[in-house]
Amino acid sequence: MAVKSRLLPRSVIAFHRNVVSATQFPTVEEDTLEEDEFSESKELILSVLQTHATKRDARAYINKYSDNLDSAEKRKRKEFAKKVLRSVSEASRGFDLYGSAPIELKDMIRVAVIKIRGVSDLTPNILGNIGKTILRLQRLGLSPVIVVDPVEENGPGWMQSAEGFASSAQIKQMTGVAARIAAAIEKPVVCDKLPSPAVLNLRSQNSHKHPGKAAILPSMFTHVAPYLQSSIKWSLPHLLFIEMTNQVVPIITPLVYNEHSSRYAIAAADDIVYEMVNKISGIASPEVITLDKVIYIDPLGGIPSEERHSGAHVLVNLAQEYDDILRELDSVMYPPNRQSVVLSVLSNKGGAEQYNRTHISNLNSFRKLLAVAPASTSGLITTPVVAASQSTRNPLIYNLLTDRPVISSSLPVDGKRASIQHTTLLRHGMPVMMIYCSQGMYLPEYPRTGLKNSFSGTQVSNGLSALCNGVANVDMVKLVELIENSFGRELDVQHYLNRVNGNVAGLVIAGNYEGGAIITWEKVPANPLDHVAYLDKFAVLRRNQGSAGVADIVFKAMSDKLFPKELLWRSRTENPVNKWYFDRSKGSLRLPGKRWTMFYRGYDTREEDRLQDYIDVCSSIEPSFKN
């Protein structure tokens, strides 16, 4: 049943306008942004939030990214920056950014590490628009740092010479690639020389007073021979901090300096990214700097999904989905239906086999990165064409403003809103416990824990199947707390258990009871031998509503994994969540004479000849909340 999207209410638009007008945007110059750039930032935020977002999205963005430093706080940051600058000439005495005394700031530097692969294949227009996107991210509150990935520049195997070191031609070529990126970001401050880290006079002592918008940094990494990921050390992190403090976009080439031979090697860009992510995540003063996002701009785009007709996975919950996606990448050869830019890359870079290897490498890389990053850090993989988009649906801009993918991962794949995407949002995420019972099971007595079950069925936990024999631990105290927190009402627990016990068809529990669903088998009044899978309780902790993808994770696990054939549920007609339900349902109907709207979805629903079954079931359910 098609549902037309509605314009946002005037109150929401007004809220967004008030939010935008109250925001002080990050500046490129020391104190102020040029008027056209300031206006562009305001209009960008307003257009995205007004078109695609909610009040909750707007509040979350402003609370997280707005630069609300008063003059005293700005002076504190400048003093901290000067301290870091002074340390450049004193680094040999062991300045330690991580061990520095905490600086009390109302705001922090929110880092986005962006790795760009295949720069040489990009047209000036695409690369220039990627530069604009990077500047927009900066103006909207992020501090981008670019890592050049040179793998595609000369093909596989070019990275090291026979002795394991980089040639001067390779260093020059990599610096040239970095210079192209710097030129795209505008007004680059380019460092042509590549001395050893011991030579700290790399740029003029006064260069920080007149920063450009981009700066190619010298090697900040050292290693011991032979080159290994574990041997890489980020020896000069404060050089990066200097640039970010001055609103300059640092550009890093993956050169690592060998302390014994005084020569350079070319590291894998993923190893450089990991060292940066690991160190930034471990900084002892998170009020100064934190890691917000890791972004890969890759010609092959997001992680492909067979379910999405070779389009990219929209959202990957690594703690739950990693093994399944890895098995799919190992068994399915992509791509039958990818962008022409991807096909041109395939023709020159090893074909479909190389395509799959690259995606597996990206998946494994993000699994490692997000395992050491803060829980709030998100990863994005997209194509250069998508990253270059100047529309409000650019997924990098959209995710910054809403902390969500452009489309929801729980939307039906064949629905009108679930267009083929080439961007994947990745989170370390949370484990998901899924329990299914074909006959019906009992919940434990409140407040006891443990699931008792007198019937056989299937238990699915983190992707593994086993007999549902009562070993699953369900904490009823936490489950009830989750339901009451989500609904904002007190559950009549005993009444509820009396109604559902023996009829529980499935349970989904995400993380530490951060979201969950209870599905029951409901008998059809006209035919007691027939039953319908009914979504009885769908709950997400209020702090996770509208973000973190918890609702999508739970809904997708329930509707796609456990009950893909048929699922029925109802919601109060005035419930503001109904728009979300409409988008995920196959059909809906307002129950006659009732305050309820019913929804259904699945590949074998009965709306054509037995719609009355659904109406009867939804009309017979007794509410279980106390008045």
Does one domain contain both 410 and 544? no
Would you say residue 307 lies in a domain? no
Determine the residue type at 382: T
Would you say residue 470 lies in a domain? yes
Q: Are 533 and 566 within 8 A, CB to CB?
A: yes
Q: Which of 370-374, 418-422, 439-443 has the highest mean pLDDT?
A: 370-374
Does one domain contain both 455 and 404? no
In percent, the amount of the chain with pLDDT more than 90 equals 41
Does one domain contain both 409 and 509? no
Would you say residue 615 lies in a domain? yes
Q: Are 362 and 326 within 8 A, CB to CB?
A: no
Given a cut of 50, is residue 221 above it in pLDDT? yes
Given a cut of 80, is residue 174 above it in pLDDT? yes
Radius of gyration of the chain measured on its C-alpha atoms: 27
Least confident of 231-235, 278-282, 499-503, 586-590: 231-235
Determine the residue type at 447: P
Can you give the pLDDT at residue 7?
39
Least confident of 43-47, 86-90, 509-513, 534-538: 86-90
Least confident of 158-172, 192-206, 280-294: 192-206
Can you give the pLDDT at residue 71?
57
Within 499-558, strands assigned E span 504-510, 515-524, 527-540
At 456, the pLDDT band (50, 70, 90 cuts) reads: very low
Domain extent at residue 210: 71-98+108-156+164-297
Given a cut of 70, is residue 335 above it in pLDDT? no
Q: How far is CA 343 from CA 301, 337, 352, in A?
A: 12, 9, 9
Would you say residue 404 lies in a domain? yes
Would you say residue 369 lies in a domain? yes
Instruction: Kindly report the average pLDDT of the chain as a whole number.
Output: 76
Does one domain contain both 514 and 592? yes
Does one domain contain both 511 and 461? yes
Does one domain contain both 380 and 414? yes
Can you give the pLDDT at residue 90?
43
Peptide bond connecting 384 to the previous residue in cis, omega within 30 degrees of 0 = no
Pairwise CA distance, residues 145 & 220, whole Å: 13
Q: Are 384 and 130 within 8 A, CB to CB?
A: yes
Provide mean pLDDT across the span 577-582. Answer: 92
SS3 399: helix
Token readout for 516 is 């969950």
SS3 89: coil
Nearest one of 84, 430, 469 to 288, comparing CA atoms: 84
Provide mean pLDDT across the span 234-260. Answer: 86
Q: Which of 326-335, 400-409, 535-544 has the highest mean pLDDT?
A: 535-544
Facing residues of 214 across strands?
Answer: 188, 249
Does one domain contain both 420 and 453? no
Provide mean pLDDT across the span 205-233. Answer: 66
Task: List the CATH number of the domain containing 468.
Answer: 3.40.630.30
Does one domain contain both 423 and 512? no
Pairwise CA distance, residues 567 & 255, whole Å: 54
Q: How far is CA 114 from CA 111, 150, 288, 379, in A?
A: 9, 14, 20, 10
Q: Are 538 and 519 within 8 A, CB to CB?
A: no
Element (H, E) at 387: helix 384-387
Token readout for 34 is 């040029």
Does one domain contain both 445 and 586? yes
In percent, the amount of the chain with pLDDT more than 70 equals 66
Provide mean pLDDT across the span 280-308. Answer: 86
Q: Which of 368, 395, 427 is the last residue of a domain?
A: 427
Would you say residue 259 lies in a domain? yes
Given a cut of 80, is residue 135 above it in pLDDT? yes
Can you give the pLDDT at residue 246?
82
Least confident of 10-19, 168-177, 195-204: 195-204
Does one domain contain both 422 and 438? no
Task: List the CATH number of the domain containing 280.
Answer: 3.40.1160
Q: Are 40 and 530 within 8 A, CB to CB?
A: no
Would you say residue 4 lies in a domain? no
Given a cut of 70, is residue 273 above it in pLDDT? yes
At 82, the pLDDT band (50, 70, 90 cuts) reads: low
Would you say residue 126 lies in a domain? yes
At 448, the pLDDT band (50, 70, 90 cuts) reads: low
Provide mean pLDDT across the span 350-363. Answer: 82
Q: What is the largest CA-CA distance in the chain?
A: 85
Does one domain contain both 423 and 442? no
Number of domains in the chain: 4
Given a cut of 80, is residue 435 above it in pLDDT? yes
Token readout for 613 is 């079954």
Q: Are strands 567-572 and 596-601 parallel, antiparallel or unpaired?
A: antiparallel
Does one domain contain both 291 and 350? no
Burial state string for 479-489 with b = 16 or more CB within 10 A and e = fewer than 16: bbebbbbbeee
Token readout for 11 is 């109150």
Q: Are 519 and 558 within 8 A, CB to CB?
A: yes
Residues with Cβ within 8 Å of residue 268, at least 6 apart in sequence: 151, 159, 229, 254
DSSP 613: H
Pairwise CA distance, residues 602 & 315, whole Å: 21
Provide mean pLDDT across the span 29-46. Answer: 53
Least confident of 24-33, 197-206, 437-446: 197-206
